[in-house]
Amino acid sequence: MGDALLWHRLQFAFTAVYHYVFPQLTMGLAPVIVFLRWRREDRLADFLTRVFAINFAFGVVTGFPMEFQFGTNWAGLARYAGDVIGQTLAMEGMFAFFLESIFLGVLLWSKPSPRQKLFASAALWAGSWLSAYFILATHAFTEHPQGFVKNGDKLQLDSLADLLLSRWAWTEVAHTLVAALVTGAFVLAAMGAYYTLSRKHEDVAKRLLAIGTTLGLAASLAVAFPTGDQQAKLVAHHQEPALAAMEGRFESGQMAGITLIGQPNVPQRRLDNPIRVPGALSFLAYGTFHGDVRGLSAFPEDEWPQNIELLYYAFHLMAGIGTLMIGIMSLAVLQRFRKKLEVLDARGTRPLLWALMLAFPLPYIANTAGWITAELGRQPWVIYGVLRTRDASSTNVHSGDVLFTLIGFCGLYLMLGLLFVFLIGREVMRGPVEVEGHG
């Protein structure tokens, strides 16, 4: 059945991608719920809290297997770096997860006053984003390890501040949270468009469109600049082979261009049919058109990302969808500024509402492509420059065992997915109505 390492990687990739469908929406909705509580729009806030709760529950269920996989699939990583990454993972569970779950329970199963609802929603937001911070600080350590010392055959934590407050961690947190806001905004806009087109909950539909399009445009722009720009600069300075592979760049030189279209031809070390913007990559990476961006040929092949084609296409898919999302939200904001976005008979409104309703998968696809870019770009290292992926897996767990459990995960997650679609679809169809026990 082949190398067990391949199946270890595929299983973790599958569970991670599936899991991240859910927390990106909870992180994106949490500040919106607080804003609505502050404005005393409790009917809409209660509705979004129920949507939040469904996503939170499925995020918990799909997240637990990933924690166990550090022991079952990645024992080498756990033994070598567990004393470091275990700190942030434990802090996420002890502090952020319990904060989020406790106050979600307060909002769902008690009858707090409006002021208590605002406080509980703020705590929910804090727990949601704090959870992301600890997880992303752990991931940032694998991308640009800091705050550790080597002690024999393992790593030990040397500085918790360096681990939590590294520039890579802060940049990754900002980029990821803004991307989550994009997801939340597109979902809000999609629901608003659906209610408008079906002539349901028209007052709520107008509010959802207003919040979704405004937040969507602002967050889509912020994903590109400054957060995406800063993330790219970190890759350019610390992971040069990844940057070269992302752009399909094999040769070094100044005035490096950004590739708009092209197909990487790895056997012949070239990019076929390229269309580039001259000098743009040098400027974005180093702040000058004369910046020398090294190509893959400048590095030993055992330091190249292991799937250059997939990395290249994932990066360009992310960037292309990001540009498309900015365009959609710009048109929507313009139409709303003209006070025609909710007027079905206005010219261009109905097609735009259909576009908003059908566009909600775009941030999910872009975020997934972004994570694939980050993970493939770090290869062949599981901790960049410190521990190679081939040395991090569990050598006693064979390929047949991993494939068997992967098939099991696929079946289980298919059933979970169907249940999620049913529950979230029922909630959206019912809409923002008063529900007994939810205030």
Q: What tens digit of pLDDT does each residue of 374-396 get?
A: 999 999 999 999 999 999 999 88
Q: How far apart are alpha carbons 49 and 290 in whole angstroms?
A: 51
Mean pLDDT score, 200-218:
96
If 0-12 CB within 10 Å is exposed, 13-18 middle and 19+ buried, where does residue 288 land?
exposed
Give the model's pLDDT for residue 1. Answer: 43
The dihedrals phi and psi of 159, each to the nearest 5 degrees, come to -145, 110
pTM value is 0.96
Q: What tens digit of pLDDT does each residue of 284-340 get?
A: 888 888 889 999 999 999 999 999 999 999 999 999 999 999 999 999 999 999 999
Q: Name the band, by pLDDT with cuts 50, 70 and 90, for residue 433.
A: confident
Q: Judge whether 45 and 117 are in contact, CB under 8 Å.
A: yes
Give the model's pLDDT for residue 439. Answer: 41
Per-residue three-class SS string for the chain:
CCCHHHHHHHHHHHHHHHHHCCHHHHHHHHHHHHHHHHCCCHHHHHHHHHHHHHHHHHHHHHHHHHHHHHHHCCHHHHHHHHHHHHHHHHHHHHHHHHHHHHHHHHHHHCCCCHHHHHHHHHHHHHHHHHHHHHHHHHHHHHHCCCCEEEECCEEEECCHHHHHCCHHHHHHHHHHHHHHHHHHHHHHHHHHHHHHHCCCCHHHHHHHHHHHHHHHHHHHHHHHHHHHHHHHHHHHHHCHHHHHHHCCCCCCECCCCEEEEEEEECCCCEEEEEEEECCHHHHHHHCCCCCCECCHHHCCHHHCCCCHHHHHHHHHHHHHHHHHHHHHHHHHHHHHHCCCCCCCCCCCHHHHHHHHHHCCHHHHHHHHHHHHHHHHHHCCEEECCCEEHHHCCCCCCCHHHHHHHHHHHHHHHHHHHHHHHHHHHHHHHHCCCCCCCCC
Give the model's pLDDT for residue 13. Answer: 96
Nearest by Cα to 185 from 30, 38, 351, 335: 30
pLDDT > 70: what percent of the chain?
98
Q: Name the band, by pLDDT with cuts 50, 70 and 90, for residue 434.
A: low
Q: What tens digit of pLDDT does each residue of 259-290 get?
A: 999 999 999 999 999 999 999 999 988 888 88
Q: How far apart are alpha carbons 421 and 439 in whole angstroms?
A: 25
The Cα angle at residue 389 between residues 383 and 152, in degrees rounded to 5: 60
Report whether pLDDT(437) > 50: no
Q: Judge whether 384 and 142 are in contact, CB under 8 Å.
A: yes
Q: How far apart are alpha carbons 412 and 418 in whole angstroms?
A: 10
Q: Name the band, by pLDDT with cuts 50, 70 and 90, for residue 225.
A: very high
Q: Name the band, by pLDDT with cuts 50, 70 and 90, for residue 435.
A: very low
Q: Name the band, by pLDDT with cuts 50, 70 and 90, for residue 436.
A: very low
Q: Judge whether 56 and 26 are in contact, CB under 8 Å.
A: yes
Mean pLDDT score, 114-124:
96
Q: How far apart are alpha carbons 287 and 280 in whole angstroms?
A: 9
Could you state, in order of their start, the residue ranges of all structural domains in the chain? 21-227+307-430
Q: What tens digit of pLDDT does each residue of 58-105 get?
A: 999 999 999 899 999 999 999 999 999 999 999 999 899 999 999 999
Mean pLDDT score, 215-230:
97
Query: What's at 84, amino acid-wise?
Result: V
Q: What tens digit of pLDDT does each residue of 134-192 get?
A: 999 999 999 999 999 999 899 999 999 999 999 999 999 999 999 999 999 999 999 99
